[in-house]
Amino acid sequence: MSIHIDAKSGEIADRILLPGDPLRAKYIAETYLKDAKQYNNVRGMLGFTGSYKGKRISVQGTGMGIPSISIYVNELIRDYGVKKLIRVGTCGGVQKGIHVRDVILAMSATTDSAVNRGIFPEINFAPTADFSLLHKAYTVGKKLGVPLRAGNVLSADVFYRDSMELVKKLGEYGVLAVEMETSALYTLAAKYGVQALTVLTVSDHIFSDEPDTTAAERQTTFNDMIHIALETAVDD
């Protein structure tokens, strides 16, 4: 048992999917995992372990933002020995040509969070995906015919901002989408020497009028992303 996770030693698999929304964790466990058993309900941050294609796998909600995901990722790696972590999240599209419900693989994460400046006061660390997970996810997504992009994302510290100028500028420098956790996930994976990847579904577009996805869709569907993440997680 760790401070925020109520599982006993051995109850969490060494590969895990990490949605921000705990109800998405429940949906994934109930829809995709065989013999799924809930191991956590501390703060309602649901976690489950079951199997997919014969391999043990867990799914754990992480909450929103870098402070929240950092708590779960630290405890999962340090206290439960998790080695392969795949975030399955939603994001706001930034680039033209990206559409609501497209899937994005985060190769790297730019951030306005001050967390990494605390760790590296003198340099700008580049949080980066594990290449073999990225390569596998890209191959699976292409094979499934999913509209897919891989590139840099913004892990933002705020959801609501007074001005979108910074996001617009990052778009001019190739940033594909905005979300709120990946820079922390990749930095912690680097620190502990484990594998991490973020797979995102575009839930809305910051600069276009395309209708947003609904809360129900964000909780449950997004099956392309989940399928890609599960196939990537069990590949070894």
Ligand X SMILES: O=P(O)(O)O[C@H]1O[C@H](CO)[C@@H](O)[C@H]1O
Binding of ligand URA by 120 (CB under 6 A): no
The entry of ligand X, ligand URA, none near residue 181 (CB within 5 to 8 angstroms by kind) is ligand X
Toward ligand URA, which CB reaches closer, 23 or 42? 23
Binding of ligand URA by 201 (CB under 6 A): no
Toward ligand URA, which CB reaches closer, 132 or 223? 223
Nearest distance in Å: CB 51, ligand X? 23
Nearest distance in Å: CB 67, ligand URA? 14
The entry of ligand URA, ligand X, none near residue 127 (CB within 5 to 8 angstroms by kind) is none
Residue with tokens 């009028």: 209
Is residue 99 annotated as involved in ligand binding? no
Which residues sit at the interface with ligand X, rule CB under 6 A? 19-21, 64, 89-90, 159, 179-181
148-155 and 55-60 as β-strands: parallel, antiparallel, unpaired?
A: unpaired
CA 129 to chain centre: 11
CA atoms of 92 and 206, how far apart (whole Å): 6
Helix (H) or strand (E) holding 25: helix 22-32
CA 29 to chain centre: 16
Q: Report, as residue numbers or ranges, the catalytic residues.
A: 204
CB 57 within 8 A of CB 233: yes
Nearest distance in Å: CB 217, ligand URA? 12
Q: List binders of ligand URA among 87-116 (CB under 6 A).
A: 90-92
Toward ligand X, which CB reaches closer, 134 or 156? 156
In DSSP terms, 103 is beta-bridged to 148, 201
Q: What are the phi and psi torsion angles at 94 (to 5°)? A: -115, -45
CA atoms of 177 and 108, how far apart (whole Å): 11
CA atoms of 63 and 220, how far apart (whole Å): 16
Is residue 157 annotated as involved in ligand binding? no
Interface pick for ligand URA out of 31, 159, 214, 215 (rule CB under 6 A): 159
